[in-house]
Amino acid sequence: MSDLNENKALVRRYFEEFFNDRALDRTAEVCAADYLEHALAPFGDTEPGAVDGPEHARKTVAWLTDQYPDLRMDVEAMVAEDDLVAARILSTGTYTGGTHVVPPTGKGFSSRQTHWFRVRDGKLAEHWATRDDLRTMIQLGVIQPPGRPAA
C-alpha cells in the first residue's frame, strides 16, 4: 500500500512544485528521462511521444505560465492502482497572451482536467490528459457559445 501512496505523492509533487511553486529545479527528481507524453497541446493534432521528461516538464510549465502567469493547478482527488495514478485537477489562471494562436484577453478561467500518470522506478514515466479546452476558450472570450450574441 505504501507504493500507491508514494506514487500519489509523486503526482501531487508534479502539480504543486512545478505548476504552483515553479520549482523547476526538481524536475529530474520527479520525471523519468525516458518519458512518454500522450497529451495533446491545445489546438495540437499529434502526441509528443517519447521526450526527455525533466526538460519536457520545464518547457510545459514555461509555455503555460508565459500565457497564464498566475496559473494554479490544484489536486482535487487522486486514485492509484498498480503503477497508474489518476488525478482530477482544478486549473485557474488569467490569459495574458504569450502564444501566437490566440490574442491575449486578460480574462480568467477555471476548468477541471484529468491526468493519468504511469510511475516507473519511483518517477513519472508516462502521461495522458483530458481537458475541457472548449469551456476554457469560452471563459477566456476566445470562442462565443452558440446562440449568444458577441460580447
Question: What would the grid cell of residue 89 be?
Answer: 485537477
Give ∠ CA 93-95-96 in degrees, rounded to 5. Answer: 130
- Among the ranges given (42-46, 57-61, 72-76), the one the predictor scored with the smallest mean pLDDT: 42-46
Does 39 have pLDDT greater than 90?
yes
Q: How confident is the model at residue 1 (pLDDT cuts 50, 70, 90)?
A: very low
Mean pLDDT computed over 55-62: 96
**137 CB-near residues (< 8 Å, 6+ apart):** 102, 143
CA 40 to chain centre: 10
Percentage of residues of the chain with pLDDT beyond 90: 75
- Domains belonging to the chain, first-starting first, are 2-139 (3.10.450.50)
pLDDT tens-digit map of 103-142 = 889 999 999 999 999 999 999 999 999 998 889 989 998 8
Mean pLDDT computed over 80-102: 90
Three-class SS state of 74: strand
- pLDDT value for 151: 60
Q: Is 16 left (phi over 0), alpha (psi -120 to 50) or beta?
A: alpha
- pLDDT value for 92: 97
pTM of the model: 0.90
**Helix%, strand%, coil% for the chain, nearest 5:** 30, 35, 30
